[in-house]
């Protein structure tokens, strides 16, 4: 579909935004009329087409990329992410479309979003206990790995119970950068 053509059926709007001076690279953002549906790391030109193709297939929607500054569904997510990366936003206030997550994964992600604020961390096991599933730390790790809304639903704030940083879908260095942005870890010297 031509990026200027308006979709007639179910649709999503997408764009690619920079992460400021964080060093984590560009992010793909996608939204439906229900809310932000996807945030994807490493949104270089070679990956964007496959990312959008996957979303279109999963959601059964047409995709449209508006010209920069002409976003409708993404105007507020773009603004809030820029504010977050500049250090002036500590809590996202966005409608979220949770269709890409379900069951236990959605429950864990919603608890994370609700109860772990900017600058704080939680252990995988503690988060499992918060959703009534003590002992499900590995399942919480899987939920974090399937998070369709990283950064906004801050899975980078979930760490190993013994103090280790743990894994991260965007890469461990990206997790370190996000935790440094929030003041949890020191900023790298170089």
Residues carrying an active site annotation = 155
Instruction: Give the span between the Cα atoms of 32 and 63, in whole angstroms.
Output: 9
Q: Let me know the angle formed at the C-alpha of 15 by 155 and 60, rounded to the nearest 5 degrees.
A: 85
Classified as helix, coil or strand, 31 is strand
> Phi/psi zone of residue 151: left (φ > 0), alpha (ψ -120 to 50 degrees), beta?
left
DSSP 3-state assignment of 123? strand
Report residue 90: phi and psi, to 5°. Answer: -115, -15
């Amino acid at each position: 579909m031509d990026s200027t053509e308006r979709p007639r059926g179910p649709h999503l709007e997408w764009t690619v935004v920079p992460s400021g001076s964080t060093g984590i690279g560009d992010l793909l953002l996608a939204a439906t009329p229900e809310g932000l549906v996807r945030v994807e790391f490493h949104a270089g030109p070679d990956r964007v087409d496959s990312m959008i193709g996957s979303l279109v297939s999963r959601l059964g929607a047409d995709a449209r990329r508006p010209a920069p500054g002409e976003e409708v569904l993404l105007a507020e997510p773009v603004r809030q992410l820029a504010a977050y990366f500049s250090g002036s936003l500590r809590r996202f206030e966005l409608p979220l479309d949770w269709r890409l997550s379900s069951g236990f994964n959605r429950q864990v992600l919603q608890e994370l979003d609700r109860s772990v604020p900017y600058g704080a961390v939680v252990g995988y096991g503690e988060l499992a206990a918060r959703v009534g599933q003590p002992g499900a730390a590995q399942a919480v790790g899987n939920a974090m790995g399937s998070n369709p809304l990283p950064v906004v639903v801050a899975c980078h704030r979930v760490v190993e119970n013994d103090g280790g940083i743990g894994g991260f879908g965007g890469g461990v260095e990206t997790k370190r950068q996000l935790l440094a942005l929030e003041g949890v870890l020191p900023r790298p010297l170089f």
